[in-house]
C-alpha cells in the first residue's frame, strides 16, 4: 500500500502509455490493412505497408519515451522490460508488480477503446484486433524470432542508456529498432516482444494461437540480454530503469544518477532511497 500510495502516478502513466501505443497500432494497421481503406487500396505491396506501419509505430514509441509521462515512468510499456530491470536490481518488488499489472490493463483498455471507436476497421479479419500470431513457419520459428528481437532490443537499451554520450538518444534507438523489426520480422511472429501487447489483442479476438510463444520468448530473450550485459559490463554499470533519465521528472527506481554512492551498495540492502 505504501508503494501504491507514493507511486500510483507512475503506474497510471505506464497503463496510459501502453494504451496509447495500442490505439496507435490499431489505427495505423487499420489504415494500411483494412480492405476498404484508401491507403490500403493505393499500396498493394505488403513490404511497403509494413515499412509504413513500422515507421509509424517507431515514431509512436519515440514520442512515448520522450513524453512527460514517459520521462517520469521510464516508458517501459512492457512487462518483460520491467521484470528485466527488476532482475537487475533497479526496481523495488511492489513497483514492478504494479507496473506489470498496469501495463496489462492499459494495453487491453486501449485496444478495446480503439475497437469501439473504429468498429469494423479493427474487428475485420484483415486486422483482427492486431493479433500477434506465428507466420507460415509455425510456432518454432516465431519463438526463435521473438527471442532474437527481444534479446536485441534489451541489449541495445542496456548499452545505450548506460553510455553517457548515447543515453539521451535511447528512445530514438528503440524507435528505429521497432520500425526495422515490424518491417522485416513481423511475417515470422507478428512482432510483439510484449506479452501485455499480445494479450490485449488475444482477449477481444478470442485468438490464443501459440500464446505461450509471446510470454516465454520475450522473457527469455531479455533476460539473456541482461545476463550478457552483466558479464560484459557488470551489474553495477546499470544506472537506472528509465529509458530517458536526462530530465527533471522524479525517479522512483534504485537510481544510480541520484544516489551513486548508494547504487554501488544496492546488493547489500533492500532499504534504499525511493522518492
Q: What is the pLDDT of residue 268?
A: 40
Task: Supply the CATH number for residue 111's domain.
Answer: 1.20.1080.10
Q: Is residue 18 in some structural domain?
A: yes
What percent helix, strand, coil does the chain show, rounded to 5? Answer: 70, 0, 30
Domain containing residue 103: 2-268
Q: What is the pLDDT of residue 4?
A: 84
Please list the pLDDT of the chain residue by residue as tens digits (275 residues).
888 889 999 999 999 999 999 999 999 999 999 999 999 999 999 999 999 999 999 999 999 999 999 999 999 999 999 999 999 999 999 999 999 999 999 999 999 999 999 999 999 999 999 999 999 999 999 999 999 999 999 999 999 999 989 999 999 999 999 999 999 999 999 999 999 999 999 999 999 999 999 999 999 999 999 999 999 998 889 999 999 988 889 999 988 886 554 444 443 443 444 44
CB 134 within 8 A of CB 210: yes
Kindly report the pTM of this predicted structure.
0.90
Q: Is residue 110 in some structural domain?
A: yes
Q: Is residue 275 in some structural domain?
A: no
The three three-digit cell numbers of residue 182, written as one number:
515490424
Please count the structural domains in the chain: 1
Q: Is residue 274 in some structural domain?
A: no
Instruction: Judge residue 237's burial from the number of C-beta atoms within 10 Å of its C-beta, 0-12 exposed, 13-18 middle, 19 or more buried.
Output: middle
Any idea what DSSP says for residue 209?
Answer: T
CA angle 80-224-257, nearest 5°? 65
Q: Is residue 198 in some structural domain?
A: yes
Q: Is residue 87 in some structural domain?
A: yes
Give Cβ neighbours of residue 15 (< 8 Å, ≥ 6 apart). Answer: 102, 103, 105, 106, 109
Amino acid at each position: 500500500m505504501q508503494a501504491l500510495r507514493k507511486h500510483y502516478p507512475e503506474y497510471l502513466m505506464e497503463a496510459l502509455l501502453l494504451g496509447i501505443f495500442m490505439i496507435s497500432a490499431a489505427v495505423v494497421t487499420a489504415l494500411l490493412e483494412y480492405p476498404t481503406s484508401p491507403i490500403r487500396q493505393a499500396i498493394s505491396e505488403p513490404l511497403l505497408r509494413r515499412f509504413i506501419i513500422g515507421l509509424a509505430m517507431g515514431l509512436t514509441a519515440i514520442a512515448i519515451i520522450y513524453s512527460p509521462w514517459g520521462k517520469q515512468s521510464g516508458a517501459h510499456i512492457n512487462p518483460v522490460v520491467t521484470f528485466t530491470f527488476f532482475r537487475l536490481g533497479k526496481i523495488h518488488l511492489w513497483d514492478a508488480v504494479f507496473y506489470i499489472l498496469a501495463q496489462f490493463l492499459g494495453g487491453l483498455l486501449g485496444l478495446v477503446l480503439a475497437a469501439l471507436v473504429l468498429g469494423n476497421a479493427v474487428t475485420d479479419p484483415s486486422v483482427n484486433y492486431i493479433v500477434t500470431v506465428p507466420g507460415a513457419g509455425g510456432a518454432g520459428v516465431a519463438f526463435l524470432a521473438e527471442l532474437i528481437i527481444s534479446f536485441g532490443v534489451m541489449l541495445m537499451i542496456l548499452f545505450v542508456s548506460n553510455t553517457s554520450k548515447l543515453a539521451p538518444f535511447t528512445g530514438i534507438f528503440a524507435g528505429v529498432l521497432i520500425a526495422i523489426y515490424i518491417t522485416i520480422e513481423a511475417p515470422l511472429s507478428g512482432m510483439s516482444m510484449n506479452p501485455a501487447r499480445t494479450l490485449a489483442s488475444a482477449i477481444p479476438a478470442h485468438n490464443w494461437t501459440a500464446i505461450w510463444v509471446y510470454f516465454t520468448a520475450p522473457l527469455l530473450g531479455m533476460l539473456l540480454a541482461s545476463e550478457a550485459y552483466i558479464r560484459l559490463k557488470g551489474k553495477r554499470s546499470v544506472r537506472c530503469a528509465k529509458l530517458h533519465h536526462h530530465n527533471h521528472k522524479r525517479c522512483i527506481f534504485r537510481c544510480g544518477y541520484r544516489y551513486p554512492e548508494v547504487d554501488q551498495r544496492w546488493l547489500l540492502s533492500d532499504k534504499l532511497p525511493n522518492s
